[in-house]
Chain A
Amino acid sequence: MSRSHSNDALLLHRRQLLGAAVGAAVGSASAAIAGVSLAAEDSAAVRRLGPGPSPLGERSPFAEQARVPAMGIVSFTPHENLEGTITPSDLHFERHHGGIPALDPQSHELLLHGMVERPLKFSLTDIKRFPSVTRSCFIECSGNYFPFAGEESPPHLICGLTSQSEWTGVALSTLLREAGVKPGASWIIAEGGDAPLLNRSIPLAKALDDVLLVYAQNGEAIRPAQGYPMRLLVPGWEGNTNVKWLRRLEITDAPVMSRQETSKYTEPMRDGTIRQFSFEVDARSIITAPSYPATIAKGWQEIRGIAWSGRGKIQGVEVSTDGGKTWQPARMQGPVLSKSHTRFTLPWFWDGEATELQSRAIDETGYVQPTLRDIMKERGPGSGPYHFNPITGWLVRRDGELRFSPTG
């Protein structure tokens, strides 16, 4: 596409040039002038016209991006290649439980029923007529720690199942007022329109607090992989509750105890219990640069990363450049938004010696990102993979190569 554009531009350029030469010159002088012009065209000094406008933008061929699919059920966001806080929509992580359904908004409806005065069906057009709300928010799969490449694990294997978008939709509380919630209701069961009709129970209090039914992602219709034409946005809660391709909301007085919220997305604990409804995403951070597989040179570097918490704002991030012996506060890039990826940076002079870089997040509730050892002590090695948020590090070798360090 871009090649044919530049060929067109080049042809146009030649025609314009020749036409101007013929029109302006007379007799033998015209051939000489045209000859000079065409010869100069091969010179590197000539600035040729680039391609013109086009319907859709493209990435530079020198800066291509891609998600990293794995295990047939996920694709990771390549945080090592991203800056800022918003994840480009086509790089938003994926976790599907039965593939991506092709839902036509002409026929797709959302059914709202159960303990309500007025059971209702809404089309996408209906939903868009309600007052709209826009906010930035991360969505993180609660199983988001898969360093299966060992020390050669890049950031996307450590936490590539979190992504951030600006979402637009209607407050669920608005829809619930429309239907009229009956006294005694305390839960909402959300069900997707994908092949396995994925369903999760969410406390009504959360739904009334800040849950949105969203139809737009970063200013345009939600991508099919993220739930087109509509999904739940449950700010700060594990990704699985943010039900995609939403087709049904049932108001009840008890959770349905679906497979997703019993045999999955729960944690066996060392104290002999199984922890259920562990909805909130615990505070976490990662240094995205420098990171494996990058190589660094002696001198000044900027350490960069992201931090987030499902319980509110990130209060601060501390960075260690000596393997956890000492910590210093990173610079926080504002505005710091609640339940959102927050960018942190720290200038660092690398003297060429081997060391380890680490980061730890603290959120506004006082939660401090734990070490792997702390998590193991409390929960046990078999308690994963959900809600695993350890401090992680990057070993810096004397040759400038970096390696993943899980120890924290």
Chain B
Amino acid sequence: MMKSALRQRDVGRLRQIARLLPALALITVALQPHAEDPTRFNLGTPASTEDIAAQDIDVSPDGHGLPGGGATVAQGKIIYDQACASCHGSEGQGASAAALAGGNRVPPDELAADRTIVHDVGNYWPYATTLFDYIRRAMPFDSAGSLSDDEVYASTAYVLYLNGLLDADSSLDATSLSAIAMPAARYYREDRRVSGGDL
């Protein structure tokens, strides 16, 4: 319950940031339509609800877009060993592909000071929902889209387990995934530099 409340606050702050950002954009001469251009050219064809559903697989930090179903960490180990371990290492320590776990749980100033510490899910990813979204859209690397939604839940659960963010006997579904507070979320700040000497 506490975790969920935290998440809601994070999302609230996020939306605040999101509204601020466009106002910070440089004032430049925008591309304006020519006076003789019509408001609409009546080009393109209407997209149906089915057209959109077929392509829109986005998952938001608040859990919007997560499908039904779910899986356990134990099921996740089976999927992970079959589809993920060969590139990411048996314990997520990294191999031909990036490490998913095993980096010290250190704050960003220590990451900035030491280039040898890996940025992994536990110390760098701000949203657990992103893990589901990314695995579903992009993994396995050589056969993206081949996992079922339950298999995506399973592998997501196992990667969270490898990072100490889920217990070995737990399970994951839309509700529990969107309630997970990631350790790195509190460190994220939007870039406010506009010009001049800011590095």
What residues of chain A have their CB less than 8 Å away from a CB belonging to chain B? 97-98, 111-113, 118-122, 126, 129-131, 133, 171, 173-174, 177-178, 186-187, 189, 191, 195-199, 203-206, 208-210, 212, 247-248, 250, 253-259, 262-263, 266-280, 282, 311-312, 363, 365-368, 370, 374-375, 378-384
Contacts and interface: CB of A to CB of B under 8 A. Distances in A.
A247 B119 CA distance: 30
Given A205-B22, A210-B31, A256-B60, A380 B188 contact: no
A181 to B, nearest CB: 12
Nearest to B56: A250
B52 A111 contact: yes
Point out which of B47, B115, B191, B196 has the most chain A C-beta atoms below 10 A from its C-beta: B47
A111 B53 CA distance: 11
Interface stretch (B86-94, B122-130, B168-176): B122-130
A268 B112 contact: yes
Given A203-B21, A263-B130, A271-B109, 5 more contacts: A111-B55, A189-B58, A206-B25, A254-B15, A367-B198
Contacts of B51: 111, 119, 121
Nearest to B25: A205
B39 A259 contact: no
Contact of A119 (B14, B46, B59, B188): B46
B190 A378 contact: no
B187 A367 contact: no
A130 B113 contact: no
A257 B127 contact: yes
A177 B33 contact: yes
10 nearest A-B residue pairs (beta carbon): A365-B195, A380-B112, A196-B138, A205-B22, A268-B108, A120-B44, A278-B191, A259-B134, A119-B47, A382-B115
A250 B59 CA distance: 13
Contacts of B41: 129-130, 178
Contact of A113 (B47, B138, B198): B47
B134 A258 contact: yes
A97 B142 CA distance: 11
Interface in B123-166: 124-127, 129-130, 133-134, 137-138, 141, 144
Interface residues of B, number: 70
B38 to A, nearest CB: 9
B115 A381 contact: yes
B181 to A, nearest CB: 14
A275 B129 CA distance: 20
Interface of B: 14-15, 18-19, 21-23, 25-26, 28, 30-34, 37, 39-41, 43-47, 51-52, 55-61, 107-109, 111-117, 119, 121, 124-127, 129-130, 133-134, 137-138, 141, 144, 184, 187-191, 193-199
A268 B195 contact: no
Contacts of B199: 282, 370, 374-375, 378-379
B174 to A, nearest CB: 16
Given A121-B44, A130-B41, A174-B33, A273 B108 contact: yes
Nearest to B121: A263
Point out which of A122, A173, A189, A275 has the most chain B C-beta atoms below 10 A from its C-beta: A275
A178 B133 contact: no
A121 B45 contact: yes
B178 to A, nearest CB: 12
Contacts of A178: 40-41, 43-44
A233 B186 CA distance: 32
A253 B15 contact: yes
Given A367-B195, A382-B114, A273 B188 contact: yes
B138 A126 contact: no
B28 A380 contact: no
Nearest to B109: A272
Given A122-B43, A209-B25, A380-B113, A113 B34 contact: no
B137 A382 contact: no
A315 to B, nearest CB: 12
A255 B18 contact: yes
Point out which of B23, B32, B113, B117 has the most chain A C-beta atoms below 10 A from its C-beta: B113
A199 B58 contact: yes
A389 B60 CA distance: 32
Given A197-B57, A206-B22, A275-B191, A120 B133 contact: no
A268 B144 contact: no
B46 A120 contact: yes
Contacts of B117: 382
Contacts of B124: 263, 268, 274
A195 B13 CA distance: 33
Contact of A365 (B57, B59, B138, B196): B196
A147 to B, nearest CB: 14
A402 B30 CA distance: 44
Contacts of B138: 97-98, 195-198, 259
B195 A209 contact: no
A112 B47 contact: yes
A197 B144 contact: yes
A248 B55 contact: yes
Nearest to B199: A378
Contacts of B30: 173, 208-210
A42 B199 CA distance: 67
B144 A196 contact: yes
5 contacts: A254-B18, A263-B121, A268-B124, A273-B108, A367-B195
Contacts of A253: 15, 18
